[in-house]
């Protein structure tokens, strides 16, 4: 009986994949943008020559990838095309395998630092006075202190603003995705989401002053100094986990 069931499942999976690809092709060929409406379920079934069940399975897959958004009572729309699936997979990996996923957090920090350090020249040359004033305000907000979550939100807003002048949507999305993963996984692995406030404020002020002076080398050095304590916390948590493994 097992040999009879497997081909049926395989065919069903292949059919779902085929319909999924057809919907993606439809979106591309019709040059649809995020938020644009899609045909009704009945219209898609007819256009794609697909059954209602295979279409619904394909829509579920695309909804999980944020390619299609289903608004009950309103219809189906092109999704935000965000990196939510990347966030979910990296987060699940970090929560599932903490014994080796301290490295995942280090990798995330490495990429965030690489964006800011590697783009130093382009970042500082594109900042205007209004954006600089907002950076100053965010640093002052960090200096004023507050609850842990509010400090993390302020820190994230600061780094999001650093990426803004680049005008690169992919970098902005990746940076946001890495922040999402880090803020979820780090506490679970016993890594604080903040460093000493004085160090935080000092590092951020150094970056702002480097931007104000249009000094790319100083900005890059300030970025390295900023991420050094984060790396140290991850390294310390890694050693602790190795010395006290969970059974």
pLDDT tens sequence across 103-117: 777 888 888 898 899
Topology adopted by domain 84-243: 1.20.120
Q: What is the pLDDT of residue 12?
A: 66
- With 50 as the cut, is the pLDDT of residue 6 above it? no
> Does the structural domain 2-78 have CATH classification 3.10.20.340?
no
Identify whether the C-beta of residue 50 lies closer than 8 Å to the C-beta of residue 22: yes
Q: What is the pLDDT of residue 188?
A: 67
pLDDT tens sequence across 137-176: 999 998 887 555 677 888 889 999 999 888 888 888 888 8
Farthest CA pair distance, the chain? 74
Q: Do domains 2-78 and 84-243 have the same CATH topology?
A: no
Greater confidence, 3 or 126?
126
pLDDT tens sequence across 93-106: 655 555 556 777 78
Q: Where in the chain are the domains? A: 2-78, 84-243
Q: What is the pLDDT of residue 5?
A: 31
Q: What is the pLDDT of residue 2?
A: 37
- The residue-averaged pLDDT of 199-226 equals 92
- What does the alpha-carbon distance between residue 124 and residue 113 come to, in Å, rounded to a whole number? 15
CB neighbour list of residue 192: distance below 8 Å, 6 or more residues apart: 186, 233
Q: Tell me which residue of 156, 169, 188, 235 sits closest to 91, measured CA to CA.
A: 188
Mean pLDDT of the chain: 80
């Amino acid at each position: 009986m097992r040999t009879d069931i497997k081909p049926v499942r395989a065919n069903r999976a292949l059919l779902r994949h085929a319909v999924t690809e057809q919907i993606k092709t439809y979106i591309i060929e019709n040059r649809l943008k995020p938020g644009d409406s899609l045909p009704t379920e009945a219209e898609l079934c007819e256009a794609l020559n697909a059954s209602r069940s295979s279409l619904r399975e394909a829509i579920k897959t695309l909804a999980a990838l944020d390619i299609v958004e289903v608004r009950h009572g309103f219809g189906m729309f092109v999704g935000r095309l965000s990196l939510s699936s990347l966030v979910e997979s990296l987060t699940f990996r970090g929560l599932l395998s903490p014994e080796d996923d301290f490295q995942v957090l280090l990798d995330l920090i490495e990429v965030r630092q690489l964006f800011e350090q590697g783009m130093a020249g382009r970042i500082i040359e594109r900042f205007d006075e209004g954006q600089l004033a907002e950076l100053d305000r965010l640093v002052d907000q960090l200096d004023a202190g507050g609850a842990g979550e509010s400090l993390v939100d302020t820190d994230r807003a600061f780094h999001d603003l650093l990426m803004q002048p680049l005008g690169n949507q992919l970098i902005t999305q990746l940076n946001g995705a890495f922040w999402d993963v880090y803020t979820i996984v780090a506490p679970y692995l016993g890594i604080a989401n903040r460093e000493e406030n004085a160090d935080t404020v000092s590092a951020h002020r150094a970056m702002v002053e480097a931007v104000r002076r249009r000094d790319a080398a100083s900005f890059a050095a300030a970025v390295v100094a900023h991420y050094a304590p984060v790396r140290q916390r991850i390294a310390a948590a890694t050693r602790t986990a190795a010395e006290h493994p969970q059974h």
